Amino acid sequence: MAATSSSDSDSGKGESSEANSKWLDSLSDSMANIHTFSACLALADFHGDGEYKLAMGDLGPDGRQPRLKVLKGHTLVSQKPLPDLPAAAVTFLVGSHEPRTPALAIASGPCVYVYKNLKPYFKFSLPLLPTNPLEQDLWNQAKEDQIDPLTLKEMLEGIREKAEVPLSVQSLRFLPLELSEMEAFVNQHKSKSIRRQTVITTMTTLKKNLADEDAVSCLVLGTENKELLVLDPEAFTILAKEAVISLCFGRYGREDNTLIMTTLGGGLIIKILKRTAVFAEGGGEAGPAPSQVIKLNVPRKTRLYVDQTLREREAGTAMHRTFQADLYLLRLRAARAYVQALESSLSPVSLMAREPLKLHAVVQGLGPTFKLTLHLQNTSTARPILGLVVCFLYNEVLYALPRAFFKVPLLVPGLNYPLETFVKSLSDKGISDIIKVGHQLVLVQGRV
């Protein structure tokens, strides 16, 4: 009798608890195989039949095989694969035409997938971010095999530490690789152009024109690189792009907890914390994540690299001065040669307006017989030259020319006229001298 009485008592307590609860248990299935969070759940009448359905971005087991799942009542009526893990799901109206059925937007990676009647309707992709020009130049050098993988890694590590523009995903995947894996990775990716792509971290809606419940709404996207994007609901183009640059939290008006933000474009955003909001303290341990404590197996720098670095650090000023001195000397020699050519009339271009000629000589052969080819060109725009004579002036003791005099045909402007002759060296001691080619005041100098 005591046992029966205890059982009846427990049953009565259970019935009493269920009767006093504000909730009715419609479904409790621990094997539903659903893996998601609040931001990826959305309720709406997707077909306009008065039947509200539950749409969710499901992460899949262990964060794999993400899917869009739709539940009607207690039944899974649809599931579609997603290319990346979902970040948010919202419903919104994209137009004022009938029937007024809402569309479903799923934020996944760098894209927003829009469904109407739970069928694919539109895909919006975030614009690419500007890449680091130094990083692009390094991968171009790797493509041309101008630098080895180890040097590429050292240079990319330097860019990551100092540059304001972050590295691309390709470079970030390359840096932690072992030395044996670097060459294969570079060969596989060096022909690909580097890209920087951010991802969507949150998404909500904003009424476009009216504050009515069934008014057309814009999608508002928050990205990983701290930007807010507002999308047009019909064309799915970016209406506004704002970056928050300042924050202030405190009492504003009659509200105790107000967050005020200003954007890069001059916008002002004010958010009021709900009085019913509850923040739970995290239970994680303070300090860096365990993965950041692991010491990376970074290969040692070679002795040659260290010695060269120390040398450049110690003698940097002297090396720069030597370079500047050599540069000034090179400029001085070039200027002297130019002045000498002008003073001796040895310029390959005629300075006379009535004979606009360009002449240069090419010597071919190893000796003792050489082939000398002259190239004549009329540099005028429309006037041909007729009756030109070219002769060679040389030391007859050292050289012999079978033909030292040429009568040049009509020179048409812009065309190249080659004149060929042979030169025989008569000296058995290897003595050389200047052979001059000219017509009146036009001379060119060369050595055989």
Instruction: Cite the DSSP H helix spans in 163-273.
Output: 169-174, 179-189
Strands (E), 41-118: 41-44, 53-58, 67-72, 75-81, 86-92, 103-108, 111-116
How far the first Cα of the chain sits from its last, in Å, is 131
Over residues 136-183, the pLDDT tens digits come to: 888 888 888 888 888 888 888 888 887 778 888 888 889 988 888 888
Nearest to 193 by CA among 175, 176, 169, 225: 169
**pLDDT at position 103:** 92
Considering only CA atoms, which of 92, 124, 128 is closest in space to residue 111? 124
Q: What is the mean pLDDT of each run of 10 residues along the chain (448 residues)?
A: 50 60 78 88 89 91 87 88 92 82 92 92 90 87 86 86 82 88 88 87 86 84 88 85 77 82 78 75 56 71 82 88 92 87 60 69 83 85 80 84 81 84 83 72 39
Instruction: Kindly compute the dihedral angle of the four CA atoms of residues 204, 209, 211, 215, in this order, to the nearest 10 degrees.
Output: -80
Alpha helices, H only, 287-315: 290-293, 303-314
pLDDT of residue 344: 61
DSSP-derived letter for residue 166 is P
Q: What gap in Å lies between CA 395 and CA 98, rounded to an integer? A: 101
Which pLDDT value is given to residue 352? 57
pLDDT for the residue numbered 281: 54
